[in-house]
Amino acid sequence: MRIFLNLLITIVLYGCVPAPHEDCGSRSLWGFADFPLGTAFDLRNEERNRELRTVFNTHFNSFTPENEFKFENIHPQPHQYNWFEADRIISFAQNKRVHGHTLIWHEQLPDWIFSAENHEHIMKEHIKAVVRRYSDKIKSWDVVNEALEENGNLRNSIWKQKIGKDYIYKAFKAASEADPDAELFYNDFNLALNPRKLDAVIDICTSLRKRGIDVSGIGMQMHISVSAPYPMEIKEAIDKIWRAGFKVHFSELDVSVNPLGNKTVISEDDLTDQYHTYYEVVKTYRSIPKAYQFGITLWGVGDADSWLESYFNRVDAGVLFDHSYRPKPAFCGFKKALSP
Ligand code: GLA
């Protein structure tokens, strides 16, 4: 029923969507986009799959490091930074925009953090060291990731426990002092599905602005599926964000075809549903004013390196290229939505 409604709303909104069987070619996807088009992966995957580099270079002009900038990797011991992997990202992605991900999060933290003292000092020093080191190349950051519960309350993370609820303000302030020109984002999941959480995010970003922090935008992670959210829900969410004066980044887009984990194979029909979902997502994104479009970032290049199968232990196929890095119908749906 939900899929049927979804399709009906799409047809009313955008007219008939062409079938996914057309030859959508292999020309550069970003060449068709009038906003930055990014993807994320771990450089170790890139080393294993040379095909990944070719597809990345051909189709994307923006890059989000999947893991290398996370606290546990870049700051594994007190006062000790591991710049090696992060430096490799910078030389690897020389001709691309690099979006920094992520400075402050409650996951992928090193063990030492849990027994440390003076977390406010640690947090500020961490942000300043990382942002300053890469300020020539990285001009946008996810400063705080996933700070909220689904009910809109602050998550009881180690940062909140040790620093108090003002840690978000303090994190953004440290980032803006470290690089006053960088674009600063708050990033979270389920923002299209959960208006209550979205309203809380917008409230936080608005109050940061009132306190003098130039928050550029909001990252909607967009780990979604073929059955939810509805296109109308995505539209309502992004309209709320840009109308509140913030740019929108679809920062971690993937579209699960097996969200309940009850399938053992992915069918042609699933991939056709996914074609439609990608088409709707991109069309919807393009409906907001250009000035508010920070870009769309896919969370993975090929299904082989997407987190969906390993993390949820299920078959899935959430991104635009298959396990052999061949374009899927989803690629065609994405591209179709980019045409004028
Ligand atoms: C969150 C994080 C990402 C990534 C995904 C799972 O969305 O923001 O960095 O870890 O979870 O892969």
**Pick the catalytic residue: 146, 233, 280, 309?**
146
**pLDDT score of 22:** 60
Give the residue-averaged pLDDT of 99-105: 98
CB 333 within 8 A of CB 278: yes
State yes or no: pLDDT of 16 exceeds 50.
no
Which H or E run includes 254?
strand 247-256
Closest residue by CA, ligand 1 atom 9: 66
DSSP per residue, 212-275: T--EEEEEE--EEESSSS-HHHHHHHHHHHHHTT-EEEEEEEEEES-TTS--SS--HHHHHHHH
Burial of 74-104, coded b for 16+ CB within 10 Å and e otherwise, reads bbeeeeeeeeebbeebbeebeebbbbbbbbb
DSSP per residue, 47-82: HH-HHHHHHHHHH-SEEEESSTTSHHHHS-BTTB--
140-167 tens-digit pLDDT: 999 999 999 999 999 999 999 999 999 9
State pTM to two decimals.
Answer: 0.94
The pLDDT confidence band at residue 23, using thresholds 50, 70 and 90, is low
State yes or no: pLDDT of 19 exceeds 60.
no
State yes or no: pLDDT of 318 exceeds 70.
yes
Q: What is the DSSP letter of 141?
A: E
State yes or no: pLDDT of 32 exceeds 50.
yes
SS3 244: coil
**pLDDT score of 24:** 81
DSSP bridge pairs for 186: 144, 218
Please state, rounded to an integer, the average pLDDT across all residues of the chain: 93
State yes or no: pLDDT of 6 exceeds 80.
no
**pLDDT score of 15:** 43
The pLDDT confidence band at residue 1, using thresholds 50, 70 and 90, is very low
Tokens matching residue 8? 């009906």
- Rounded CA Rg of the chain: 19
State yes or no: pLDDT of 9 exceeds 90.
no
The pLDDT confidence band at residue 48, using thresholds 50, 70 and 90, is confident
Any ligand 1 atom below 6 A from CB of 145: yes
Closest CA to 231 of 1, 4, 20, 7: 7
Give the residue-averaged pLDDT of 247-268: 98
Closest CA to 256 of 281, 288, 283: 281
SS3 187: strand
State yes or no: pLDDT of 18 exceeds 90.
no
64-78 tens-digit pLDDT: 999 999 999 999 999
**Pick the catalytic residue: 68, 233, 252, 280?**
252
**221: CA distance to ligand 1 center in Å?**
8
**16: CA distance to ligand 1 center in Å?**
34
Tokens matching residue 224? 């979604």
The pLDDT confidence band at residue 50, using thresholds 50, 70 and 90, is confident
**pLDDT score of 49:** 81
**239: CA distance to ligand 1 center in Å?**
24
**pLDDT score of 47:** 76
Give the residue-averaged pLDDT of 55-60: 96
**pLDDT score of 13:** 43
> Is 51 one of the annotated active-site residues of the chain?
no
